[in-house]
Amino acid sequence: MRIFLTGATGYIGSAVLDALLRGNHQVTALVRTPQAKDALLARGVAPVLGDLTTPKSYRACADGFDAYVHTAADVGVKREGVDAKAIDTLLSAAASHAARTGTGAFVYTSGVWVLGSNAQPMTESAQPNPGQLLGWRPVHEQLVLKAAGNGLRTSVIRPGIVYGGSRGIVSDLLKNALNGLIRVIGTGDNHWPLVYDRDLADLYVRAATRPEALGIYHANDEADETVNAVVEGIVNHLSAPPDVRHVPLEEARKKVGAYADALALDQIVRGPRARELGWSPTLHSVSANVPRLLEEFRSGQERAA
Ligand SMILES: NC(=O)c1ccc[n+]([C@@H]2O[C@H](COP(=O)([O-])OP(=O)(O)OC[C@H]3O[C@@H](n4cnc5c(N)ncnc54)[C@H](OP(=O)(O)O)[C@@H]3O)[C@@H](O)[C@H]2O)c1
């Protein structure tokens, strides 16, 4: 299939790109720098140099794709508006293609944090309860979901906290552990939904390419690990065990604001709809895979150096 991808240089987007290329899809990717453009060209990807903040920089190149996969996330203060514009631009391209050909797909990246804390397992039918950090996200999910029809399939993927490679929150834990100190926000008895990057990418490919894919999909390994269990798994594998410091939530909020509340969420997440697409994660927890994750982390660091 011909696929238009945003965020191909990012943590999630690069895993999705790898999976799409493994599946022999033809990928066109929006990138922001000439270096990224060259790197993608070398991998057989058609790059579009542009920026989500300026839809006209890529709109003309976004016509005529079988699927649009949006994983990019601007981190500026205007990120909500930038994301709304990106959804609008990509959905209009996807809808035009579907109107012409009778088929098309748009896959949007949200996250499990929109669900808030809940002691009960939350499936894809759970009501969102986003905190301060992500109040806008469920509105964007709805923009995407409501655009389905006239041949266009739209999906929202809600990844858990991603692990694997050398980026993201779990890699930060590994890095801090190797540096001798891990900080845990709150008691650490809260559960994190987690997902391996390659497994997550496989769900994106299914959402983009399967004719039955439509609606919300939760992506996590369903190990229901507490933060303390993740940290203990890491600590137990290191010959020089790091110190572990639990930082009270109030103190963490002063340093990182509402992000501290997101890391302190207690979530049990289930993805029966993702399983119905035939999705089955290959890794089932962080704590049981620490040697592999350390190896991936180290080799990612070496490549980046
Ligand atoms: N990582 C996780 O654990 C996780 C879990 C759940 C949900 N999510 C959600 O998934 C999304 C992606 O997360 P991520 O971890 O992959 O982020 P990331 O590693 O920071 O990647 C962000 C991507 O977006 C691109 N980008 C940023 N601003 C852009 C702009 N103005 N125009 C074009 N491209 C732009 C970046 O390109 P450059 O390389 O040019 O900067 C990069 O490719 C976010 O919405 C995040 O909330 C992430």
Q: Which atom of ligand 1 is nearest to the CA of 134?
A: 47
111 lines ligand 1 (CB under 6 A): yes
Q: Which atom of ligand 1 is nearest to the CA of 167?
A: 19
Cβ of residue 52 lying under 6 Å from some atom of ligand 1: yes
C-alpha 250 – ligand 1 centre gap (Å)? 27
pLDDT for res 132: 80
Full set of structural domains in the chain with CATH: 2-304 (3.40.50.720)
Summarize pLDDT for 179-222 with one digit per residue, the tens: 999 999 999 999 999 999 999 999 999 999 999 999 999 999 99
Q: CB of 89 closer than 6 A to ligand 1?
A: no
Q: Which two tokens stand for residue 45?
A: 């990807």
Q: Is 71 in the pocket of ligand 1 (CB under 6 A)?
A: yes
Q: What is the pLDDT of residues 129-176, one digit of tens each?
A: 998 888 999 999 999 999 999 999 999 999 999 999 999 999 999 999
Please report, as a single letter, which amino acid is at residue 35: Q
Atom of ligand 1 nearest to the CA of 53: 31
**Which residues contact residue 234 at a Cβ distance below 8 angstroms, ignoring those fewer than 6 apart?**
173, 174, 177, 182, 286, 287, 290
**Looking at this protein, which amino acid is placed at residue 159?**
P
- How, if at all, do strands 225-226 and 191-192 pair? antiparallel
Model-level pTM? Answer: 0.98
Q: Which amino acid residue places its CA nearest to atom 13 of ligand 1?
A: 12
Q: What is the pLDDT of residue 231?
A: 98
Sign of the torsion angle spanned by Cα atoms 292, 298, 302, 305: positive
| Residue (of 140, 130, 81) closest to 108 by Cα position | 140
Name residue 81's amino acid. Answer: G
Could you give the CA distance from residue 12 to residue 37 in angstroms, rounded to a whole number? Answer: 18
Indicate if ligand 1 lies below 6 Å from the C-beta of 74: yes
Average pLDDT, the chain: 97
CA 71 to ligand 1 centroid distance, Å: 6
Distance between Cα 184 and ligand 1 center (Å):
24
